[in-house]
């Protein structure tokens, strides 16, 4: 029997930001000797533990509770900072740890950790992955490159992984595209972008971290342009082609964009940087991708936003439903500037007007400028990159979905991070301020059995189970209608609601929250609500919020349980609509055709495999809602090594 009582508050576990590594100092001899004897003692006891508990075959052994965690791993987690010391954003997934200094590692077992691996999101076979790099369509294949650590499930030793696909869903892993083997990229082959030239050839610009940790820009190109798989790459012998200009610090110069053509026939790129706390996008012109001219001024700058990483710049059509090549310009075009903010690890965008002559861009709405307004995604989503898909005349968006569990758990399972489902991206002609993001149509090829529910009435304070079988891999499309009489009767007031600062679904209002409970167990002790919350202002106007509450997503103590979300514009005559892709530990949610998007990583311990269920819920105090849904079970994608590819990633 499902408990239909209103939700009650539960304590949520927070985590803490990692602290950076201590600066290395020369230690006195007595201190060195003390450390030596301490290490010797620790080593002695470690040897004893190994001899008593070790496994002859070298595999991790479960304890008597079926857990991979040993008694020592259940001590306080000690997060490690990864990235800032060498000049990139924080890559540690334990940013929330300092909020609870007594955080303990949860005793995950093999079954739980295996369930977390996704079925139709792209990820390498093992180890760490982060930013999407240089996506393109070439000679019948979609190419996807990505930041990859070939040695461990944590950030470091970054090279370029490479995979190809015919449909953006099923992927074949290829050998590493570029490794850190030159002085100019010895400390990392970092993020870059592809440009397809008019003759069909490909050039790749990427950031390298030198032996001295200076960020420089490098040129690479395919060794054989006739090879549709682009397996082998050549680094230009004259690299680096760009170094930090005067006034820019050595570690504040990274992530070149795809180039676009100017009316003068020059190629133009932009690179992220900062001056003090002002985020900026530098602009360069080039005729040959070897020699560059720095333009006066910047493409755009926003004070207080800090370092801009992974800048993207592209046109969107005001009149058509197709994507545009990066070089397209004209009166029927708007331009988007997107920046990944190093300081808060979110991707912000704004729509505006590009002035080619002086290489500047001005936002249409300064109040929602880059870094202070709209985000691609209000969940865990970063370092996004688009590319123009000339195969289907669309612009496709990739984004990195990091982990929000403990680094210790990532090392146990042997992998960390996935990529979002590729999304098409269009200008929202109805609002004029937003972009619309939507999963690429190819994802629908994975749909299996479908279920339909029409006009399901959900009374205030109730939960309704939806019988769709195991709810681990789903594609859900839903519409909601709230009781009109309740809307009219509700008294307006000053709206102070915010998804992130609210109590989640336990914060009851007259008109919300209501929506779906995904990855929920029968008792609802674990659940991830995806929901709307409507508030009526003192002026009588409605404000609609779209949220995702992770506070009860897991009983585990060492995972992030934030509440995500933001306002979503709902225009006159529109029904409340959402689409949710559930793929094991990932929940991607799209409201109102993709105006507002939220991606969550969740780590249930009970609501897994066949125990994962789906429910409708309504925790409003005064209004009932009606829901109509179409739900598909989803097949798994084929993501495996390319046939005869003997090189392992």
511-520, strands of its sheet edge to edge: 462-466, 613-618, 511-520, 528-536, 542-549, 563-567
pLDDT in tens, 530-567: 999 999 998 989 999 999 999 999 999 899 999 999 99
CA angle 13, 16, 18 (to 5 degrees): 155
pLDDT score recorded for residue 491: 84
Q: Which of 414, 439, 464 is the last residue of a domain?
A: 439
Considering the domain boundaries, does residue 3 fall inside one?
no
> What one-character DSSP code corresponds to residue 242?
B
| Domain enclosing residue 271, as ranges | 128-439
pLDDT score recorded for residue 97: 42
Residues 6+ apart with CB under 8 A from 342: 88, 89, 274, 306, 307, 308, 309
Considering the domain boundaries, does residue 229 fall inside one?
yes
Question: What is the rounded CA–CA span in Å between residue 451 and residue 468?
Answer: 7
Question: What is the rounded CA–CA span in Å between residue 533 and residue 502?
Answer: 11
Whether residue 452 sits in one domain with residue 428: no
Q: Which of 439, 472, 505 is the last residue of a domain?
A: 439
| DSSP H or E stretch at residue 409 | helix 407-413
Which of 90, 128, 398, 88 is CA-nearest to residue 254? Answer: 88
88: Cα separation from own chain's centroid: 16
Considering the domain boundaries, does residue 8 fall inside one?
no
Q: Which of 384, 413, 439 is the last residue of a domain?
A: 439
Q: Give the residue, 32 or 472, on which the prediction is more confident.
A: 472
pLDDT in tens, 119-142: 999 999 999 999 999 999 999 999
pLDDT-derived band at 202, boundaries 50, 70, 90: very high
For the chain, the domain total comes to 2
Q: What is the mean pLDDT of residues 28-34?
A: 36
Q: Which is the catalytic residue, given 131, 475, 558, 583?
A: 131
Residues 6+ apart with CB under 8 A from 569: 431, 434, 544, 592, 595
Whether residue 598 sits in one domain with residue 460: yes
The yes-or-no verdict on residue 33 having pLDDT over 70 is no
The yes-or-no verdict on residue 525 having pLDDT over 50 is yes
Considering the domain boundaries, does residue 64 fall inside one?
no
The yes-or-no verdict on residue 82 having pLDDT over 70 is yes
Q: Give the residue, 489 or 605, on which the prediction is more confident.
A: 605
Burial class of residue 488 (count of CB atoms within 10 Å of its CB; 0-12, 13-18, 19+): exposed
The yes-or-no verdict on residue 249 having pLDDT over 90 is yes
Considering the domain boundaries, does residue 176 fall inside one?
yes
* Average predicted confidence (pLDDT) for the chain: 88
Considering the domain boundaries, does residue 69 fall inside one?
no
Is there a catalytic annotation at residue 131? yes
pLDDT-derived band at 100, boundaries 50, 70, 90: very low
């Amino acid at each position: 029997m499902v408990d239909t009582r209103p939700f009650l508050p539960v304590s949520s576990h927070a985590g803490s930001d990692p602290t950076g590594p201590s600066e290395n100092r020369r230690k006195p001899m007595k201190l060195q000797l003390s450390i030596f004897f301490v290490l010797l003692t620790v080593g002695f006891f470690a040897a004893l533990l190994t001899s008593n508990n070790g496994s002859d075959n070298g595999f991790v052994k479960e304890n008597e509770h079926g857990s991979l965690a040993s008694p020592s791993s259940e001590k306080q987690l000690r997060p490690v900072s990864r990235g800032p010391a060498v000049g990139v954003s924080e890559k540690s997934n334990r940013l929330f740890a300092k909020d609870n200094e007594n955080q303990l590692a949860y005793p995950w077992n093999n079954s739980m950790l295996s369930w977390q691996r996704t079925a139709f999101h792209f990820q390498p076979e093992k180890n760490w992955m982060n930013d999407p790099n240089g996506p393109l369509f070439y000679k019948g294949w979609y190419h996807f490159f990505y930041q990859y650590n070939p040695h461990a499930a944590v950030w470091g030793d970054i090279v370029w992984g490479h995979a190809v696909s015919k449909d953006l869903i099923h992927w074949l892993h290829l050998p590493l595209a570029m490794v850190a083997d030159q002085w100019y990229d010895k400390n990392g082959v970092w993020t870059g972008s592809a440009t397809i030239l008019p003759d069909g050839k490909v050039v790749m610009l990427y950031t390298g971290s030198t032996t001295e940790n200076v960020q420089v820009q490098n040129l690479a190109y395919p060794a054989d342009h006739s090879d549709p798989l682009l397996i082998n790459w050549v680094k230009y012998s004259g690299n680096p082609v760009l170094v930090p200009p005067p006034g820019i610090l050595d570690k504040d110069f990274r992530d070149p964009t795809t180039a676009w053509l100017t009316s003068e026939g020059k190629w133009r790129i932009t690179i992220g940087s900062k001056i003090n706390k002002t985020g900026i996008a530098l602009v360069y012109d080039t005729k040959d991708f070897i020699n560059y001219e720095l333009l006066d001024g910047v493409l755009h700058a926003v004070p207080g936003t800090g370092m801009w990483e992974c800048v993207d710049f592209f046109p969107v059509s005001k009149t058509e439903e197709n994507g545009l090549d990066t070089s397209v310009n004209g009166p029927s075009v708007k331009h988007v500037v997107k920046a990944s903010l190093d300081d808060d690890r979110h991707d912000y965008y704004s729509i505006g007007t590009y002035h080619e002559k002086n290489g500047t861009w001005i936002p249409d709405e300064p109040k929602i400028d880059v870094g202070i307004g709209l985000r691609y995604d209000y969940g865990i989503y970063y370092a996004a990159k688009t590319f123009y898909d000339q195969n289907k005349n669309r612009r496709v968006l990739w984004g990195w979905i990091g982990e929000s569990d403990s680094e210790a758990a990532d090392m146990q399972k042997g992998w960390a991070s996935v990529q979002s489902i590729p999304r098409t991206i269009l200008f929202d002609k109805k609002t004029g301020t937003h972009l619309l993001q939507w999963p690429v149509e190819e994802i629908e090829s994975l749909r299996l059995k479908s279920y339909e529910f029409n006009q399901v009435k959900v009374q205030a304070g109730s939960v309704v189970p939806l019988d769709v079988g195991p709810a681990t891999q789903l594609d859900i499309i839903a519409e909601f209608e709230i009781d009109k009489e309740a809307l009219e009767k509700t008294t307006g007031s000053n709206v102070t609601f915010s998804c992130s600062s609210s109590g989640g679904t336990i914060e009851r209002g007259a008109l919300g929250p209501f929506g779906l409970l995904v990855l929920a167990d029968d008792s609802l002790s674990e659940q991830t609500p995806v929901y709307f919350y409507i508030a009526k202002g003192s002026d009588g106007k409605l404000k609609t919020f779209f949220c995702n509450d992770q506070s009860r997503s897991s009983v585990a103590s060492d995972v992030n349980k934030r509440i995500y979300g933001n306002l979503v514009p709902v225009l006159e005559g529109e029904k409340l609509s959402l689409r949710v892709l559930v793929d094991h530990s990932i929940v991607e949610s799209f409201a109102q055709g993709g105006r507002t998007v939220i991606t969550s990583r969740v780590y249930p311990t009970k609501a897994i495999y066949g125990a994962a269920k789906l429910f409708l819920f309504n925790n409003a105090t005064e209004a009932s809602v009606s829901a109509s849904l179409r739900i598909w079970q989803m097949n798994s994608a084929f993501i495996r090594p390319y046939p005869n590819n003997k090189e392992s990633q």
